[in-house]
Amino acid sequence: MTAATNRRVLLRARPVGEPKATDFEIVDAPMPTPGEGEILCRTLWLSLDPYMRGRMSERKSYTASVELGQPMVGGTVSEVTTSRHPDFATGDIVLGYGGWQTYHVARAGGTPGPFGPLKLDPKVAPVSTALGVLGMPGMTAYVGLLDLGQPKAGETVVVSAAAGAVGSIVGQLAKIKGCRAVGVAGSQSKCDYVVTELGFDACVSYRSPDLATALKDTCPRGIDVYFDNVGGDVLRAVLGLVNPFARIPLCGLISQYNATEMPPGPNLAPFLFNRITLRGFIVSDHVDRLPSFLADMAGWVRGGRIKYREDVVEGLDQAPRAFIGLLRGENFGKMLVKMG
């Protein structure tokens, strides 16, 4: 890449099953030029998130697919290199939605959502956190657990993908609310981290030979809130242990994102007998909660009550491999690409 080009990762082919390296193409494109009211941004950090798998597919989802030949989408933290908007200056750090590329142009002004463009103050927190604990994943945990899960002190909260960007925050929020927090994760080292570093009460591996028994042992008073990031077998095991009036915020279904045929869901009898509320949600529907989230979460992070971990790969060229690994559960904490 020279200074005059913009390196981009394009969607070359729609994946069948697990994405392959050849589903992506890395190209050097001409530099974009900002128009009036726009800013040119050089990406410092690119966020990799499971929802991006849906964008690669033509299957119906909540937003449009990435077109073939277009860059992959994604949240970014960038430095402004050229500004044609009075509110932004060269050198400003901004949260945006620049996608998998080194440069992008953003229209400034308007009301910033969870994806900006929003000016960041590097003195408040490391700017990468705007893509994690203080960004979309953190707000997903906040809205999903607190608003939809409605945990009450003394209740048991279970969260899957517990060492991930969202799950790790969910369990810590549950502890702040006085709940028992139990994680489900993919390895013993993740479980150890979640308990020892993050303060969860327990964590079980979804690879346990008998997940239902392992969960039962760690949830002696049943399960009141299950924050679901994965669907599949973990959800089935949880449904055997839920208490009456349990709440299930449904945040993700990563167990099926690479599936070529949609697998069946769990039998619904427990939903009826236990009067369960299951609620699918997407954080961008809850932008009104952004100020509360930022105030609360920044305070908890500063006070050491919420910890976070970043899993960083270096260089845009690594993004496809890191993303494929993310879908396999190989990441450990918030997956980020640090740009060159």
The CB-of-263 to a second copy minimum distance in angstroms stands at 6
Q: Does residue 60 bind a second copy (CB under 8 A)?
A: yes
Task: Please count the residues of the chain.
Answer: 340
Q: Which of 299, 308, 241 is nearest to 270 (CA)?
A: 241
Residue 32 or 54: the one with the smaller Cβ distance to a second copy is 54
Distance CA 33, CA 138 (A): 33
The CB-of-192 to a second copy minimum distance in angstroms stands at 30
The CB-of-189 to a second copy minimum distance in angstroms stands at 29
Distance CA 139, CA 179 (A): 19
Residue 13 or 62: the one with the smaller Cβ distance to a second copy is 62
Residue with tokens 């303060």: 199
Q: Which of 231, 320, 329, 333 binds a second copy (CB under 8 A)?
A: 231
Residue with tokens 């299950």: 226
Distance CA 78, CA 44 (A): 5
CB 135 within 8 A of CB 304: no
Using CB under 8 A as the binding rule, the residues of this chain from 263 to 292 that contact a second copy are: 263-282, 285
- In sign, the C-alpha dihedral spanning 322, 251, 110, 131 is negative
Q: Does residue 210 bind a second copy (CB under 8 A)?
A: no
Number of residues that bind a second copy (CB under 8 A): 34
DSSP strand pairing (76-83 vs 5-11): unpaired
The CB-of-231 to a second copy minimum distance in angstroms stands at 6
Q: Binding string to a second copy for residues 232 to 261, with x set by CB under 8 A, is what? A: ---x--------x-----xxxx--x-----
Question: Quick check: helix, strand or coil at residue 271?
Answer: helix
Q: Binding string to a second copy for residues 95 to 134, with x set by CB under 8 A, is what? A: ----------------------------------------
DSSP strand pairing (5-11 vs 24-30): antiparallel
| DSSP code for 102 | S
The CB-of-31 to a second copy minimum distance in angstroms stands at 36
Residue 3 or 272: the one with the smaller Cβ distance to a second copy is 272
Distance CA 96, CA 99 (A): 9
The CB-of-247 to a second copy minimum distance in angstroms stands at 10
The CB-of-272 to a second copy minimum distance in angstroms stands at 4
Site residues for a second copy per CB under 8 A: 59-62, 231, 235, 244, 250-253, 256, 262-282, 285
